[in-house]
Amino acid sequence: MTRPLDGITVVSLEHAVAAPFCARQLADLGARVIKVERPGSGDFARGYDSRVRGQSSHFTWLNRNKESLALDLKDPASLEALKQLLGTADVLLQNLAPGAAARMGLSYEALHAAFPRLIVCDISGYGDNGPYRDKKAYDLLIQSEAGFLSVTGTPETPSKSGISVADIAAGMYAYTNILSALLLRGKTGEGSHIDVSMLEALGEWMGYPMYYAFEGAAPPPRTGASHASIYPYGPFVAGDGGTVMLGLQNEREWKIFCDQVLLAPALATDARFDSNAQRNANRAELQAEIVRIFGALQASDVVQRLDEAGIANAHVNDMAGLWVHPQLLARQRFAQVDTPVGAVPALLPPGRNNQYDYRMDAVPAVGEHTAVILDALQLPADALAAVRKASGL
């Protein structure tokens, strides 16, 4: 079996979410990913929680398929060993604090002359220039700067995403940019510098609300789990207390919904509700009508009517429901991944390719591969001894 990135080596100075998410996806496709960590404690995301049999949930999710190299990059011999390692690599990925990589001589400009084929990808909060260049950036702060909080939540309460959406966006764009740079290098023979900004990544995902508020127009309101501009589209409570998520996209579906689900065909032509604009403007009145009708039904009855009418709907799952989702189980989307405390289930990456299977190898312990990686560099004996000492070997 040949995977797309077999033979590609990525050295990643990574922590938290954005760069580890990018690197893990490259590894899923076959790349060798060498994760550089602090000796002893490692990536600070290892300590976020202990939910996975004593291990961090974030770290378990983001770090399968990787080799862990523990290096003290403040130690000159260790930094020199890292630079020698880069001579064998295709990609350097990093999301250190602003300017940290450059201060260690690991900028694209510093490395390109020695390693012209090396692709250097820097992930930061705001990019490598501009007035915000040196500003610290965490996921919630970028959600705030990108306007995400202004369109998420309820009218009374702006709400953050329940996942690290800004980090994930940046990791995704780093991943796709690295794939593009590898393709480009195949044509030109030269590596690229990739500058990924969390603000710009999440800003791209904010395209719809930006255009909705074009030239000073009112932005989308915060509407909880309901759609901001299409109605009915969101959660509705049935008589047994269960919640059903449903969505309508057009006037044809609205008529079917009234006829076959609500059993109230007159609502379809009611002047208050006869277009999406009218339904959106009068959503409180329409919600009352829908909840009144659903109130005489079990949630399962509502879902059955929706399915029979061909109206889109969904269960409001929690995490326990996702772990046992019948569609994921039917498609065999879970595999086992080894960790330092034993195997755990892991969701396979999205997208099935009939030519290869994804790598689903182990999550490493801190520094687990340090000795093997250092020995392969064939450093002079005194340099190797210094690096091993600084790494705690």
Residue-level pLDDT at 268: 97
Rounded Cα distance, 389 and 326, in Å: 51
Q: At what angle do helices 18-28 and 165-188 cross, to 10 degrees?
A: 50
DSSP three-state, residue 33: strand
**DSSP one-letter string for 34-96:** EEEE-TTT-SGGGGS--TBTTB-HHHHHH-TTEEEEE--TTSHHHHHHHHHHHTT-SEEEE--
H/E/C letters for each residue in 173-228? Answer: HHHHHHHHHHHHHHHHCCCCEEEEEHHHHHHHHCHHHHHHCHHHCCCCCCCCCCCC
Q: What's the topology of domain 9-206+333-390? A: Rossmann fold (3.40.50)
Measure Cα distances from 365 to 15, 36, 40, 343 in Å.
14, 12, 10, 13
Phi, psi (degrees; rounded to nearest 5) at 337: -125, 130
Residue-level pLDDT at 1: 87
Catalytic residue flag (residue 325): no
Both tokens of 26, joined, read 């490259």
Looking at the chain, which residues constitute the CATH 3.30.1540.10 domain(s)? 233-316
Residue with tokens 């006869």: 274
pLDDT tens for the chain, 393 residues: list them: 899 999 999 999 999 999 999 999 999 999 999 999 999 999 999 999 999 999 999 999 999 999 999 999 999 999 999 999 999 999 999 999 999 999 999 999 999 999 999 999 999 999 999 999 999 999 999 999 999 999 999 999 999 999 999 999 999 999 999 999 999 999 999 999 999 999 999 999 999 999 999 999 999 999 999 999 999 999 999 999 999 999 999 999 999 999 999 999 999 999 999 999 999 999 999 999 999 999 999 999 999 999 999 999 999 999 999 999 999 999 999 999 999 999 999 999 999 999 999 999 999 999 999 999 999 999 999 999 999 999 998
Both tokens of 81, joined, read 């060993």
Considering the four listed CATH numbers 3.30.1540.10, 3.60.10.10, 3.40.190.10, 3.20.20.150, the one that applies to the domain covering 233-316 is 3.30.1540.10
Looking at the chain, which residues constitute the CATH 3.40.50.10540 domain(s)? 9-206+333-390
Torsional sign, CA 75, 35, 178, 99: negative
Q: Put the strands of the sheet holding 233-237 in their side by side order.
A: 233-237, 243-247, 312-315
Rounded Cα distance, 2 and 358, in Å: 10
Both tokens of 107, joined, read 């900028």
- Count the Cβ atoms, other than its own, within 10 Å of residue 374: 23
Residue with tokens 């764009």: 173
Q: Are 316 and 235 in contact (CB under 8 A)?
A: yes
Q: Are 161 and 10 in contact (CB under 8 A)?
A: no
Catalytic pick from 227, 315, 325, 369? Answer: 227
